[in-house]
A = this chain, B = another copy of it.
Amino acid sequence: MQISKTTIVKAQFFDVDSMNVVWHGNYVKYLEIARCELLDEIGYNYENMKKDGFAFPIVKLDIKYVRPVFFADEIEVEARLVDFESFLKISYIIKNHKTKEKISVANTWQIAIDMINKETCTIMPDSFKEAIKKYLKRSSE
């Protein structure tokens, strides 16, 4: 079963560069907005991580830019959980909200860090896996 969440974001004036398109570095913000919404949906967001004593830093990201985004464009960012064994891997497709044309595809990899002993976890924490199970149970009902 696919675990994903689509978030609508509007390109703001301050996102646009002197070529009149959204500056490529701002896509990282769009990914983060969508990722946070996905984690909220699953029921295991940054607050939960913190409370459980974990941090989930990004260790790798890649982005492909297919079409530009213009000022005031509404885009939809679909964040999809594709792996949560040793890494938390999320894949993203960004589309123009109106035309549905593909704008960008991206991936992020996060590892779990145990904040008490500052060690990298070799597998995702049980609390995360538990949240996934509950989410899947809710979704299938």
Contacts and interface: CB of A to CB of B under 8 A. Distances in A.
A65 B59 contact: yes
A71 to B, nearest CB: 7
B19 A57 contact: yes
Interface stretch (A9-17, A82-90, A91-99, A121-129): A9-17
A61 B31 CA distance: 14
A63 interface: yes
- Indicate how many identical chains form the complex: 4
A9 B19 CA distance: 22
User: Secondary structure of the A side of the interface?
Assistant: mixed
Contact of A28 (B17, B20, B28, B64): B28
A36 interface: yes
A79 B42 CA distance: 35
Contacts of A24: 28, 57-58, 61
Contact of A29 (B14, B16, B55): B14
A33 interface: yes
14 contacts: A12-B29, A13-B46, A14-B23, A14-B29, A17-B18, A19-B57, A24-B58, A25-B28, A25-B32, A45-B72, A58-B65, A60-B62, A60-B64, A62-B62
Listed from nearest, the 8 A-B pairs whose CB atoms lie closest are A25-B28, A62-B62, A24-B58, A16-B18, A18-B20, A59-B65, A60-B64, A61-B63
